[in-house]
Amino acid sequence: MYTVIGTVKSRTFRVVWMLEEIGVQFEHIPAPPQSEGVTSFNPAGKVPVLIDDGTPITDSTAIIQYLADKHGKFTHPAGTLERARQDSLTQFLLDEFDANLWTAARHSFVLPEELRHSAIKNTLRWEFERSQKVLASRMSDGPFLMGGKMTVPDIILTHCGNWALSARFPITEHRLSTYLDKMRERPAYKRTAER
């Protein structure tokens, strides 16, 4: 059985959601970042951590791609053009959405006050809005980002969309808002959000 360490008010949400979608049993330990329950598996103190067969795996994207590959769900096979497109979309979301949101968080509450630069958030919001336009042009006709099959990037994007709203980064693309609303209706998403 898998063990997931981290609160769902973090990138741990992605891992718990993936496990809920796959439909396997797992233990969830909602330990906060930097706590002893986390640092014993990840010296950086970051969540999430997935324990599989006694081995800790860190980084939400690495974890959810591992789970998708291992269970043969929510991914395209390695070495295919579809997987290359999927990986490209994953990297785009990490570079353009996740990174902007994480930088904003760092300058809001993560870094010591004397190192924060709140003015950077205006630039990050501008980049986030521009990236939404690019993403809208890359989205398939749906219902998922890559077409008829939900994949790893769908989990990353939906999590980033939620994070954006809580960070007051507006979702400006109607197509993206509609997509996010549909993703939040998934039963596995709802089970994750209730934790």
Task: Compute mean pLDDT per 10 residues along the chain, 195 residues long, and list them.
Answer: 97 99 98 94 96 97 99 97 98 98 92 93 96 95 94 99 96 96 98 96
Question: How far is it, in rounded angstroms, from Cα 183 to Cα 153?
Answer: 12
Q: Are 7 and 13 in contact (CB under 8 A)?
A: no
**Largest Cα–Cα distance in the chain?**
48
Q: Indicate the pTM of the whole model.
A: 0.96
| Residue tagged 């989205």 (tokens) | 139
Q: Which of 125, 133, 185 is nearest to 154 (CA)?
A: 185
What is the pLDDT, as a whole number, of residue 134?
Answer: 97
Residues 6+ apart with CB under 8 A from 117: 107
Structural domains of the chain, with CATH: 2-74 (3.40.30.10), 81-186 (1.20.1050.10)
What is the pLDDT, as a whole number, of residue 179?
Answer: 97
What is the pLDDT, as a whole number, of residue 74?
Answer: 98
What is the pLDDT, as a whole number, of residue 142?
Answer: 84
Tell me the residue ranges of DSSP E strands in the chain.
Answer: 2-5, 26-29, 49-52, 55-58
What is the pLDDT, as a whole number, of residue 43?
Answer: 94
Laid out side by side, the sheet with 26-29 consists of: 26-29, 2-5, 49-52, 55-58
What sign for the dihedral angle of Cα 149, 128, 160, 57?
positive
What is the pLDDT, as a whole number, of residue 162?
Answer: 97
Question: How far is it, in rounded angstroms, from Cα 186 to Cα 140?
Answer: 19
What is the pLDDT, as a whole number, of residue 143?
Answer: 95
Residue type at position 47? V
Neighbours of 164 (CB within 10 A): 21
What is the pLDDT, as a whole number, of residue 10?
Answer: 97
Q: Are 84 and 153 in contact (CB under 8 A)?
A: no
Question: How far is it, in rounded angstroms, from Cα 52 to Cα 46?
Answer: 17
